[in-house]
């Protein structure tokens, strides 16, 4: 059944954007979900549809209708999962390289979501029927640790930690060449490429701040293994930032070189560590996943001088 909320703006909240006002009303909705409801005209101000940027005024009467969740029509699939942690609120899974996180164009089966639905039916619905439980994502060819929420309250709490930059996310990446500095920080704006819409680019109009810290872990002939720490989590952030400083990821055919290297198609990138505070217990959880065999074998070959 759809839920309807009626709110009256007080003096203390006057002047806030409509989406910002609703975001602090303890409705257990993400900012993006609220914005979608506004765009779908399911939020009215004084009985009239409004825009996300409308500045609310004292005495405004807001009505929000939250539709009943759509029945999930995705097919659970018995795909093995490498689970590092699970309880009634969340799951931490080590995603395999080559696995798509959630269904999309060209990928309607064989995804992590299909596997999760077979493993457990209780996943949060905040991100809709195609991305249940998915708080953050990894690219198809990026392996490593991912947290998944089983309920909306946990999803919101984990999303808040991501927004506040308190989640620890460290990666391993093999790049071409060797950075001049042993460690450094890349800080740019990242947004959709103005011409190539499937790519991201730095310092574009309306881009969002993106911060990546890196440190040299191992130097090989022609390549460097980097440890990277994400401060923000923009789409393709590490891939874009490393290309920006002249050291694209090995195997990255989108932002790097246009042909496979070392027999690898798809970027050499692994989400090695993940740390966060459990929303229910307050306990700090931290996990580390080793490189998948395919990537580890490449490093062994480079150690031998290949």
Paired tokens of 214: 């890196």
Give the integer Cα–Cα distance in Å for 91 and 134: 10
139 is catalytic: yes
Domain total for the chain? 3
Instruction: Tell me: do 230 and 264 sit in the same domain.
Output: yes
The answer to whether position 249 is within a domain reads yes
Task: Give the alpha-carbon dihedral of 293, 168, 136, 157, to 10 degrees.
Answer: 140
Residue 70 CB contacts under 8 Å (≥ 6 apart), including other chains: 128, 129
Domain finish residue from 48, 66, 84 = 66
Active-site residue identified among 139, 141, 152, 252: 139
Domain finish residue from 110, 145, 164 = 164
Residue 165 backbone dihedrals phi, psi, to 5 degrees: 65, 35
Whether residue 305 contacts residue 221, with contact meaning beta carbons closer than 8 Å, is answered with yes
Give the integer Cα–Cα distance in Å for 246 and 255: 11
Of the candidates 174, 130, 153, 181, which has an alpha carbon nearest to the alpha carbon of residue 267?
174
Question: How many Cα neighbours within 13 Å face the side chain of 34?
Answer: 22
Per-position pLDDT tens, the chain of length 306? 678 989 999 998 999 999 999 988 878 787 888 988 999 899 999 999 999 889 999 999 999 998 876 554 678 899 999 999 999 999 999 999 999 988 775 667 889 989 998 898 788 776 666 567 889 999 999 999 999 999 989 999 999 999 999 999 999 999 999 999 999 999 999 998 888 877 899 988 888 999 999 999 999 999 999 999 999 999 999 999 999 999 999 999 999 887 778 989 899 999 999 999 999 999 999 999 999 999 999 999 999 876
């Amino acid at each position: 059944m759809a839920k309807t909320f009626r709110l009256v703006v007080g003096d203390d909240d006057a002047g806030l954007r409509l989406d910002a006002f609703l975001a602090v009303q303890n409705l257990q909705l993400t900012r993006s979900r609220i914005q979608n409801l506004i765009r779908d005209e399911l939020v009215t101000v004084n009985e009239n549809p409004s825009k996300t940027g409308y500045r609310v005024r004292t005495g405004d009467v807001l009505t929000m209708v939250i539709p009943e969740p759509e029945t999930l029509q995705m097919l659970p699939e018995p795909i093995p999962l490498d689970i590092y942690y699970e309880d009634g609120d969340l799951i931490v899974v080590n995603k395999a390289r080559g696995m798509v996180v959630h269904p999309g164009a060209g990928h309607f089966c064989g995804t992590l979501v299909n596997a999760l639905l077979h493993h457990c039916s209780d996943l949060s619905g905040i991100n809709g029927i195609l991305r249940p439980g998915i708080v953050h994502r990894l690219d198809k060819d990026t392996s490593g640790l991912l947290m998944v929420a089983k309920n909306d309250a946990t999803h919101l709490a984990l999303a808040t930690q991501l927004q506040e930059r308190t989640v620890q996310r460290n990666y391993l990446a093999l790049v071409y060449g060797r950075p001049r500095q042993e460690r450094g920080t890349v800080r740019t704006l990242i947004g959709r490429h103005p011409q190539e819409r499937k790519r991201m680019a730095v310092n574009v109009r309306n881009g969002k701040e993106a911060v990546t810290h890196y440190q040299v872990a191992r130097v090989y002939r022609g390549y460097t293994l980097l440890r990277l720490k994400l401060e923000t989590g923009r789409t393709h952030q590490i891939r874009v930032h490393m290309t920006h400083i002249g050291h694209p990821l090995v195997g990255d055919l989108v932002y790097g070189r246009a042909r496979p290297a070392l027999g690898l198609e798809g970027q050499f990138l692994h989400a090695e560590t993940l740390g966060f505070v459990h929303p229910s217990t307050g306990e700090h959880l931290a996990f580390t996943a080793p490189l998948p065999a395919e990537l580890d074998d490449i490093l062994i070959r480079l150690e031998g001088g290949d």
